[in-house]
Amino acid sequence: KVTFEGHKVLRIVPKDEVQLSLIKDLEEMMEFELDFWRGLTTVSNPVDVRVPSHVLNSVKDYLETQNIEYSTMIEDLQILLDMEQKVMAGARVPQ
């Protein structure tokens, strides 16, 4: 089973057309490393991207260098996945 330890989901909100274009560049540069959960639309609309741990520093550096603001939507994806499994397993017992 594929696991996602250390994968973060970042929420990036482009504040202008320049940032929109820079995020598009990031998407193209790292298409197969990053998993865009919520794609690039327009200025002010959030972009959610799953970032594997091995490229996390590069992505953060890129965003910070370009002054693009982001927040961490999911700190560690695997923790949420483990919780989801636990809830599912727990629900199955009484049935």
Partner 1 sequence: PQNTDSFDFANYHTLEEIYSFQDLLVAENPNFVSKIVIGQSYEGRPLNVLKFSTGGTNRPAIWIDTGIHSREWVTQASGLWFAKKIVTDYGTDPTLTAILSQLDIFLEIATNPDGYAFTHSSNRMWRKTRKPNPGSSCVGVDPNRNWDAGFGEPGASSSPCSETYRGPSANSESEVKSIVDFVKSHANIKAFISIHSYSQMLMYPYGYKTTPTNDAAELHKVAQKAVSDLTSLYGTKYTYGSIIDTIYQASGGSIDWTYNQGIKYSYTFELRDTGQYGFLLPATQIIPTAQETWLALMTIMDHTLKNPY
Q: How far is the CB of 48 from partner 1 (least distance, A)?
A: 6
Q: Does 62 bind partner 1 (CB under 8 A)?
A: no
Q: How far is the CB of 58 from partner 1 (least distance, A)?
A: 19
Tokens of 36: 């865009």
Burial 27-56 (b: 16+ CB within 10 A, else e): eeebeeebeeeeebeeeeeebebbbbeeee
**Collapsed DSSP state (helix, strand, coil) of residue 35:** strand
Judged by CB under 8 A, which of 30, 35, 56, 62 binds partner 1? 35
Q: Does 55 bind partner 1 (CB under 8 A)?
A: no
Judged by CB under 8 A, which of 6, 30, 36, 55 binds partner 1? 36
